[in-house]
Amino acid sequence: MSTTESAALAAPPDITATEEWTALRAHLREMSEVSLRGLFDADPARGEAFTAETDGLYLDYSKNRLTARTVELLVALARRARLTERIEAMFRGERINVTENRPVLHVALRAPAGTRIEVDGVDVVPEVHRVLDRMSAFADKVRSGEWRGATGERITTVVNIGIGGSDLGPAMAYDALRDYSDRGIAVRFVSNVDPTDVWEATVDLDPARTLFIVASKTFTTLETLANARAARSWLTAALGEEAVSRHFVAVSTNAEKVAAFGIDTENMFEFWDWVGGRYSVGSAIGLSVMIAIGSAAFREFLAGFAAMDTHFRTAPFERNLPVLLGLIGVWYRDFHGFTAHAVLPYSQYLNRFPAYLQQLDMESNGKSVDLAGRPVGAQTGPIVWGTPGTNGQHAYYQLLHQGTTIVPADFLGFAQPNHPGVGPADGPDQHALLLANFLAQTEALAFGKTAEEVAAEGVAPELVPHRTFPGNRPTNTLLAPKLTPFVLGQLIALYEHKVFTQGTVWGINSFDQWGVELGKVLAGRIVPELTAPDSQPRHDSSTNALIRRLRGA
Ligand SMILES: O=P(O)(O)OC[C@H]1O[C@](O)(CO)[C@@H](O)[C@@H]1O
């Protein structure tokens, strides 16, 4: 890439000042009278036309407020934002994380051996596979019982201590892949600096059978180091200092700090500063998951990511799942002004998936300045939230159906169950009940129920407005054959690249997180003020009064 091209990528034009943006604004006016009912009535093949598929993962985006023209205009916007060039820049290892001067290469974590991806002239793929092989050897030893604790006991519980990307990814993936896990080894996750978290995670454990993984990219994160210290004193109180090397391993980019903490760097699994924390579950940060599901299944997981990477890099935008999801999100966020986005998995195993996506999306795209530091003209990342259906249906779906706020949502479902549940002999098939709800919700949200339809059912006139559903509420449906390690990898990479697509359109850096720094600095200042009763707190009057009140408590 020439210097001029690199400069153009680093300082993109204000996307809101482009003719593609103006065309979308005009198109929004054309679409103002269009409803999902009308769109489906006008085109009986719509439910098959507005779909895309890759490696068995099927996206139905027909229940969105869009036409073929909308897609055409959104794709033109992506081209104007130079999405292809930015994708290539990422895969080539260019330093697209400009504020930290780093490449962004989570795609290298799942690159098959033999692929060449260079950072400063060095191919990083062999190094990725060397660490994967070390992880596999270690995971095999723990799973087989060859790795023993200091007293010769087998490890039966692994406790991952980390926070943010060093917690949410493995915690989510462990839950998601429970069906593929060795039930003889349980994995727990400690993240909150609240001492109850580590206390609860260890209170019923036998130190002799417990292995701690201290996971921290920087190995400077206060929460993680405090929890690791607490875990260490819990262990050494029972087994003595010399037990640490058999019960603690580390995952980090920072060997020096790992050694300073007292963990032998022989027991450290490394990754690299070109992997962002929230993009790191496919790195050694996933060690706890590998111990649970085994090396072969973990590599299947990585293969799912890799398949989605190839799709993102090669499929035309009109059939490209992450690009479509990203652009539809821009359509709602920027043109309709919708502020939130829900992710609703119809799988209990994906319980933690929305929380994982919160960090992925909101830490990446919660930005107000563009790559060149100028205020960004567009509205950037939405508020991302959700929980598994059908539980959400009995909680907040009321607002989704009849509230004054419109929340576009992704519904995730799986054709085959991981467990069959009760079958026809004992009542309605349990998985069919789940899937029926999964389908019914998007149908109800899209088409609603008119006042005429409600009245025709004989509902008392005064109740008709209460029982009317406005409909026209947009959703995407993602359908996979079954929740497997491969499919989970596909889904994670799908959302990573969706976030990338949106960040590119908005011209922001999706790979830094300066917004978390100020709170960390202020907390560091407050700790001594809370603990030293005579010190003068030096803050605003509210914070000062609260500190004095807590000191007195
Ligand atoms: O892995 P580390 O370095 O402990 O960081 C944990 C998390 O903290 C953050 O830097 C935010 O403070 C996240 O981006 C990161 O995932």
Q: Residues 243-263: pLDDT tens digits?
A: 999 999 999 999 999 999 999
Active site annotation includes 48 = no
Domain edge (last residue) among 275, 297, 319: 297
Distance 19 CA to ligand 1 centre (A): 39
Strands ordered across the beta sheet of 51-54: 51-54, 57-60, 475-480, 409-414, 340-345, 383-385
74 alpha-carbon distance from chain centroid: 24
Ligand 1: residue whose CA is nearest its atom 16: 165
Domain assignment of residue 53, yes or no: no
Mean per-residue pLDDT over the chain, rounded: 96
Atom of ligand 1 at shortest range from CA of 221: 4
Cβ burial, residue 196 (10 Å; 0-12/13-18/19+): exposed
Tell me if residue 94 is catalytic.
Answer: no
Of 252, 257, 364, 516, the one to substitute when testing ligand 1's pocket (max ligand atoms within 8 A of C-beta) is 516
**Ligand 1 mean position to 162 CA, how many Å?**
8
Q: Is 491 helix (H, G, I), strand (E, B) or coil?
A: helix
CA of 307 to the centre of ligand 1 (A): 27
- The answer to the question of residue 93 being in a domain is no
Q: What are phi and psi of 546, to 5 degrees?
A: -65, -40
Ligand 1 centroid to Cα of residue 161, in Å, is 12
CATH number at residue 151: 3.40.50.10490
Query: What domain range is 529 assigned to?
Result: 514-552
Asked if 274 and 105 count as a contact pair (C-beta separation under 8 A), the reply is yes
Residue 542 covered by a domain:
yes
Q: How far apart, in Å, are the Cα atoms of 195 and each of 201, 395, 486, 500?
A: 10, 30, 36, 36
Atom of ligand 1 minimally distant from the CA of 224 = 4
Which protein residues touch ligand 1 with a CB less than 6 Å away? 163-166, 216-218, 221, 224, 277-278, 363, 513, 516
Q: Annotated catalytic, 363?
A: yes
Encode pLDDT of 431-460 as tens digits.
999 999 999 999 999 999 999 999 999 999
Q: How far apart are CA 115 and CA 337, in angstroms?
A: 42
Which residue type occupies 218? T
User: Is the alpha carbon torsion for 73, 357, 139, 145 positive or negative?
Assistant: negative
The answer to whether the peptide bond before residue 475 is cis (omega within 30 degrees of 0) is no
Q: Name the token pair of 467.
A: 């029982």
The pLDDT value recorded for residue 13 is: 84
The answer to whether residue 175 sits within a structural domain is yes
Contacts of 65 (CB under 8 A, 6+ apart): 31, 34, 36, 39, 331, 336, 472, 474
Residue nearest to atom 14 of ligand 1 (CA): 277
- The per-residue pLDDT for 3 is 57
249 Cα–ligand 1 center, Å = 18
What is the DSSP-derived secondary structure letter of residue 411? E
**pLDDT above 90: residue 90:** yes
279 Cα: distance to centroid of ligand 1 (angstroms):
11
- Looking from the CA of residue 513, the nearest atom of ligand 1 is 14
Beta bridge partners of 51: 60
Q: Has residue 91 been placed in a domain? A: no
Q: Which of 223, 300, 363, 496 is catalytic?
A: 363
Mean pLDDT of 251-276: 96
Residue 455: what are its φ and ψ, rounded to 5°? Answer: -60, -40
Q: How many domains does the chain have?
A: 2
| Average pLDDT rounded to a whole number, residues 268-297 | 98
The residues facing 210 across adjacent strands are 157
Of 519 and 552, the structure prediction assigns the larger pLDDT to 519
End of a domain among 297, 331, 358? 297
- What's the pLDDT score for residue 535? 85
Report the nearest-CA residue for atom 8 of ligand 1. Answer: 164
Mutate to test the pocket of ligand 1, among 102, 160, 166, 518 (most ligand atoms within 8 A of CB): 166
Query: Using one digit for the tens of pLDDT, what is the confidence trace for 102-139?
Result: 999 999 999 999 999 999 999 999 999 999 999 999 99
CA distance 447 to 18: 34
Q: Which of 297, 327, 358 is the last residue of a domain?
A: 297
The lowest-confidence range among 78-92, 230-244, 414-428 is: 414-428
Q: How confident is the model at residue 422 (pLDDT cuts 50, 70, 90)?
A: confident
CA of 144 to the centre of ligand 1 (A): 32
Which comes out higher in pLDDT, residue 52 or 532? 52
pLDDT score of 499 = 98
Give CA–CA dist 252/233, Å, rounded.
21
Residue 540 belongs to a domain with what CATH number?
Answer: 1.10.1390
Give the model confidence (pLDDT) of 288-333 as tens digits. 999 999 999 999 999 999 999 999 999 999 999 999 999 999 999 9
Residue 331 inside a domain? The answer is no
The count of other CB atoms within 10 Å of the CB of residue 345 is 27
Tokens encoding 211? 């292995």
Residue 532 is predicted with a pLDDT of 87
Q: Which residue in 242, 394, 419, 517 is the catalytic one?
A: 394
Residue 45, number of CB atoms within 10 A of its CB: 8
Helix, strand, coil % in the chain, rounded to nearest 5: 55, 10, 35
Mean pLDDT of 387-394: 96
Angle between helices 68-80 and 321-330 (to 10 degrees): 100
The reply to whether 171 falls in a domain is: yes
Q: Which atom of ligand 1 is nearest to the CA of 520?
A: 12
In a domain, 271, yes or no: yes
Q: Which two tokens stand for residue 136?
A: 């596999």
Q: What is the Cα–Cα distance from 546 to 95, expressed in whole angstroms?
A: 44
How far is it, in rounded angstroms, from Cα 527 to Cα 504? 39
9-36: per-residue pLDDT in tens? 667 889 999 999 999 999 999 999 999 9
Q: Whose CA is nearest to atom 12 of ligand 1?
A: 516
- Percent of all residues in the chain with a pLDDT value above 90, rounded to a whole number: 94
Atom of ligand 1 nearest to the CA of 165: 16
Question: Quick one: which atom of ligand 1 is closest to the CA of 215?
Answer: 1
Number of H helices, E strands in the chain: 24, 13
Closest among 517, 488, 306 to 414, alpha carbons compared: 488
With 0-12 CB in 10 A as exposed, 13-18 as middle and 19+ as buried, what is 115?
Answer: middle
What is the pLDDT, as a whole number, of residue 4? 56
For 228, phi then psi, to 5°, come to -65, -40
Contact 212, 248 (CB under 8 A): yes
Residue 461 CA to ligand 1 center (angstroms) comes to: 56
pLDDT, position 405:
97
188: β partners: 159
Q: Which tokens sit at 438?
A: 């999964």
- Using alpha carbons only, what angle is made at residue 285 by residues 143 and 297, rounded to the nearest 5 degrees? 45
**C-beta atoms surrounding 310 within 10 Å:** 15
Paired strand residues for 53: 58
Chain CA centroid to CA 329, Å: 16
CA max distance for the chain: 78
Q: Say what the pLDDT of residue 533 is.
A: 80
State the pLDDT at residue 140.
98
Helix (H, G, I), strand (E, B) or coil at 264: coil
Protein residue with least CA distance to atom 4, ligand 1: 216
pLDDT digits (tens, 9 = 90+) for 153-183: 999 999 999 999 999 999 999 999 999 999 9
